[in-house]
Amino acid sequence: MITYQTLTRDQIESVADFIAALNQDRSEQSGWLGTSQEEIIDALSTLPYIPFEDSHIAAYENGHLVGVFGYFGFPEKGVIRLIGPHVKHPAWLEVTQNLWERLLDTVPAGITTVKGFCDSQNQKCLDFFTGLGMTQYNAEAMMRLNRDLYTPVERNTDPAVAVVEYTQDYESGFRAIHPEFAHTSAQEILGRLSDTKKLFLVTEHGQVRGYTYVETYLETGKSDVVYLLVDEQSRNKRYGSLLMMHVIEWSFAKPMITEVILSVRPENPARRLYLRLGFVEENLICALEKEL
């Protein structure tokens, strides 16, 4: 018999282990979490606005975890981003549907839009989302650069241009160019900064022209480039290249970091930069949405 329950914070580790095992297989990968237990624990432990224990439902059969479905909420924007479904059971659709119906009961009032994510090879998840009435609005290729494949390219020689680590002096410049509707707000990024989560800026005569935000996971040897953005008026000046080279070299200066990862839309011109720097494409994550 399958039972369903709201998860508690002390179950994050076992949930992360379950999700990490499924996400090793592209035909099972859903949501936007990584493939290692450490990355997933970090993500689930720091969900803003709506904590893990208020936003995740699990399915158990004979005491064994067989499914997890949750979300990352943005109440002020009226949006939730689904985490999952992560289900391993012969009756995949039935378990997933039951998790979804119970998950809906936890969604706060005022949420108007739900977004879901899965690998392009996870056909059962794509079918489930489309069965809910979701339509695809985006797709992003996941790319990876191994330390051994990186060859530094030419450096900036313009004394007016510099790549610097964020300080409060640059706060207004950073906020001015960070997209208003990005899935992580400027305030959230600034609140996350630490020894392993860094914000680097490219400046011209002291003015912020672009930035990159990177999260490192020493346990798994990865640096994740979460954002790379150059102000529209400052593009085609190789500022994106400067930022990426800085992040790559900052990452690989740590002996335990062996690869840099990121995601990019296939049609994004930045993809050519990543390929030139040695990144290789691994998979394609589809994004779908619907109004509740």
How confident is the model over 148-177, as pLDDT tens digits?
888 877 666 788 999 999 999 999 999 999
In CATH, which of 3.30.1540.10, 3.30.465.10, 3.20.20.70, 3.40.630.30 is domain 2-133?
A: 3.40.630.30
Residue 162: partners with Cβ closer than 8 Å, 6 or more residues away: 202, 203
From residue 99, how far is each of 56, 74, 82, 201 by CA, in Å? 9, 21, 12, 42
Evaluate if residue 235 carries a pLDDT over 90: no
| 2-133 and 144-282: identical CATH topology | yes
Predicted model pTM: 0.74
From residue 30, how far is each of 139, 181, 186, 196 by CA, in Å? 13, 23, 26, 26
Report strand pairing: 113-119 vs 280-291. Answer: antiparallel
pLDDT tens per residue across span 183-209: 788 999 999 999 999 999 999 999 999
Read off the pLDDT band of 283 (50, 70, 90). confident
> What percent of the chain has pLDDT above 90?
72
pLDDT tens per residue across span 76-124: 889 999 999 999 999 999 999 999 999 999 999 999 999 999 999 999 9
What's the rounded Cα separation, in Å, for the pair 265 and 244?
A: 17
DSSP state, residue 65: E
What's the rounded Cα separation, in Å, for the pair 267 and 201?
A: 24
Both tokens assigned to 179? 């997209």
Superfamily of domain 144-282: Gcn5-related N-acetyltransferase (GNAT) (3.40.630.30)
| Domain regions of the chain by residue span | 2-133, 144-282
Would you state the pLDDT for residue 28?
94
Region 225-248 average pLDDT: 92
Would you state the pLDDT for residue 47?
82
